[in-house]
Amino acid sequence: MTHEVIRFVDKGGDVKVGVREQGETTAHLLAVENLAQLFTLEKSALLSTINKALESASVTDVVRLLPPVDDLTEVWAAGVTYKRSRAAREEESDQPDVYSRVYEAARPELFFKSVAWRVVGTGEPIGVRSDSAINAPEPEIALVCNAHGEIVGVTICNDVSSRSIEGENPLYLPQAKIYSGSCALGPGFVPIDQISDIYDLEISVAVKRDGEIIWEGATSTREMHRRFEELVDYLFLHMSFPGGVILSTGTGLVPSMEFNLTTDDEVTVGITNIGTLVNKVRSANRKDFVWLRPNADRLM
Ligand code: DO4
Ligand code: MG
């Protein structure tokens, strides 16, 4: 059995952080105010806090899952870390050589993806931009890092992106990557001591439209061109993350240029032993994602 750390709403409507065996409908509470506080702990203390909570007899009902990120914790992402991603960017871009150069370079591509409050969890909507002709899901394994730059867990990220906006000019990357509903994480995170080989995990994706699968694929973390620690080291090189950071590690699954993610499509991303992240697509209009704002009623 694998256990996972989750952020969730309890019966009283309060947001809690807990740990549970995957598939359980109850969780053991962690003695922290939020996940960002958990991420201030060093790896050994953090993992033993989780393992001790699992031994406690008291459990709380999990009414609804929330994305495993809050408060000061940021989400960053790496790009062009798989051959397939390099080939896809070369095909879509007017500047193909920037992608082959970054694939081979010592310094990886790292970019800011989201503040915590904008992230959506499993079962919540993801967004597509109306000014983008080609939208795609990007199924990725994401590293959960504490404030000390240590990898303490793993989760799933859908780095939803506009291929046409980035393809027009690489300087448009922030607009191609950051908009309402462009970052989904979850369902929870699996502590690193639960993962036997982080370089042997299958990542799969399926997109359904009107009940039919219109794109599916699978890859393995074995196909990654870089080491996970290398990405984390670069990210922490000249920046501190007092509430830890989630670092998505790039996609190895990109559909053909004819594929365009559209409103009402359902995207499922699965990673062996980590879980399944499921999100339905809606328009990324400003009004459609107001429920994400702090203190707004979270939509379900
Ligand atoms: O360079 C653009 C983005 C790459 C990316 O997000 C990926 O490879 O996953
Ligand atoms: Mg990506």
The number of angstroms, rounded, from the C-alpha of 146 to the middle of its chain's C-alpha atoms is: 16
Element (DSSP H or E) covering residue 164: helix 163-168
pLDDT in tens, 94-133: 888 999 999 999 999 999 999 999 999 999 999 999 999 9
pLDDT of residue 3: 97
Q: What is the C-alpha separation between 262 and 130, in angstroms, rounded?
A: 10
* pLDDT for residue 217: 98
- pLDDT at position 297 is 74
Atom of ligand 1 nearest to the CA of 88: 8
Alpha-carbon 234 to chain mean position: 19
- Ligand 1 site residues, Cβ closer than 6 angstroms: 77, 79-80, 85, 89, 109, 138, 159, 166, 250-251
Report which of 233, 154, 231 is spatially closest to residue 198, judged by C-alpha positions. Answer: 154
Phi, then psi, of 230 in degrees rounded to 5: -60, -40
Indicate which residue's Cα is closest to atom 6 of ligand 1.
79
Note the pLDDT of residue 239: 97
Look at ligand 1, atom 9, and give the residue with the nearest C-alpha: 250
Low-confidence ranges of the chain (pLDDT < 50): none
Q: Residues 85-104: pLDDT tens digits? A: 899 888 988 888 999 999 99
pLDDT in tens, 240-249: 999 999 999 9
Domain spans of the chain, in order of start: 3-66, 74-289
**Ligand 2 centroid to 127 CA: how many Å?**
15
CA of 12 to the centre of ligand 2 (A): 37
CATH of 74-289, one of 3.50.30.30, 3.90.850.10, 3.30.70.660, 3.90.950.20: 3.90.850.10
Neighbours of 38 (CB within 10 A): 25
Residue 299: per-residue pLDDT? 62
Report pLDDT for 300: 52
